[in-house]
Structure 1
Amino acid sequence: MTLRGNEPPSSRGRLARIQRVSRIMAAITLAPVVGLLVVPILAVALAFLDPATLDARLVETLAASQQAALTPATRLAALALAAIPLCLALLGFVVVQRLFHGFATGNILTPESGRRLKRIGLIVTALGPVAIVIRSIASVVVSLPNPPGERVLAVGFGSNDITTIIAGMLMIVLGWTLEEAARVADENRQFV
């Protein structure tokens, strides 16, 4: 539904509130996009200025063993692993920002809004298993410099992983619902 001005007064007020809040959220969601673009620059700077701090942050970010001692090769591999969820998050924030921008411009009950919500859900759902796999690979990567017998493969998942997957699936279903509601609303408009 695009805000047209022929809605009842109560509906216009609710739609105007959705637009107002969405304008604010469209602006707010630009901050994480910019922030996520700055992270690689900071990582490169830390690699040259303070490799120990970079190593500690990578081990923490990847939830790897705290006893890891990264070499230049394993540091690079850990950076590549850490970049995967970062890229997914960046993509997710871009789609969220577009969704809010669409709402702010009055494109609320539209098939595109439903598709965007489904894309967000797919990204969020993917973050769960991706995080599990990355943590497992990272456990091997950061333990490669260790002597034989002290290398580690750790596989596990937690409630955050499950919650992420469930939240993503919820968004996918809500996106399908929004698409269907937009289709029904469009059919109803054509009858009038």
Structure 2
Amino acid sequence: MPVPPSDASAARLARIVRLSRIMAGVLLVMIAGLPVLLVLVAVFGSGGVDGLLLEALNAPATGSLDASSRAALLLLAAVPLGLTLCGLEILRRLFLAFAQGDILVPASGLRLKRIGIVVACLAPVTILTRAAASVAATWSNPPGMRELAVGFGSSDLLAIIAGMLLVILGWALEEAARVADENRQFV
């Protein structure tokens, strides 16, 4: 016979459900709004599209961009943006599941692992896109004035570590959900 949750336990679960519902809504707004915001900043911002691209990709601002360099930078900027939006969507789905009370279930662990993979992948993807952006931004410069800049910072290392932590926590959550399910079947 299952044991009914205590009042304190039910209150904690209600807070998790309520906050998860709010976070799912916030993430939906972010997912829909981020691309729109970037377009608005590019169009109406003081630096324009070129300035936004160079700043977002941490590329050198030497001279003006030609059409092919601008197109290459747009494609490069789309890669980490797409990965970020993908991670935010997985996170939104995790919060939606929590809002429905699906907390200690294997699917939650799987989603958490996927978020960790996205976070861990963002660092090397960002490093590679910044390096490629430095080449694309200076490609139209005369020979000897082109650049290849590769950098690895503490924030990149921290992203990889945080991503791997989420992967391991996801595995732990999956295993905990399996054990809880096995225990329920024994009763």
Same-fold call, TM > 0.5? yes
Cα distance, 1:10 vs. partner? 2.5
1:16 aligns to 2:11 (yes or no)? no
Query: Where does 1:67-146 land on structure 2 (aligned, <5 Å)?
Result: 67-146=62-141
Say which SS state the counterpart of residue 66 (structure 1) adopts: coil
What amino acid maps onto 1:36 in structure 2? L
**Structure 2 Cα separation of the partners of residues 29 and 139 of structure 1:** 31
1:170 matched to 2:168? The reply is: no
CA shift in 2, pair 1:107/1:189, >3 Å = same
Corresponding residue to 1:27 among 3, 8, 25: 25
Pick the aligned partner of 2:60 from 62, 65, 81. Answer: 65
Q: What letter is aligned with 2:103?
A: I
Match of 2:36 in 1: 38
**Residue type of the alignment partner of 2:123:** G
Matched, 1:158 2:153: yes
Q: What is the letter of the counterpart of residue 20 of structure 1?
A: R
| Partner Cα separation in structure 2 for residue 70 and residue 159 of structure 1 | 30
Please tell me the residue identity of whatever aligns with 1:112.
A
Report the AA paired with residue 179 of structure 1: E
Confirm or deny: 8 A CA contact 2:61 2:137 kept in the other structure.
no
- Aligned ranges for residues 174-189 of structure 1 at < 5 Å? 174-189=169-184
Aligned residues: 186
Matches within 5 A, 1:37-56: 37-38=35-36, 41-42=39-40, 46=43, 53-56=48-51
Q: C-alpha displacement at 1:111, in angstroms?
A: 0.3
Taking the aligned partners of 2:33 and 2:83, their CA distance within structure 1 comes to 14
The alpha-carbon deviation at position 9 of structure 1 amounts to 2.5
Structure 1: give runs of 5+ residues left out of the alignment: none
Identity %: 53
Question: What one-letter code is carried by the residue in structure 2 that aligns with 1:105?
Answer: Q
For the aligned residue pairs, the C-alpha RMSD in angstroms reads 2.1
Answer yes or no: is the 8 Å Cα contact 2:59–2:133 preserved in 1: yes
Gapped regions of structure 2 (runs ≥ 5): none
**Cα distance 1:100–1:50, how it changes in 2: closer, same or farther (>3 A)?**
closer
Structure 1 residues 29 and 166: alpha-carbon distance in aligned structure 2, compared to 1, 3 A threshold: same
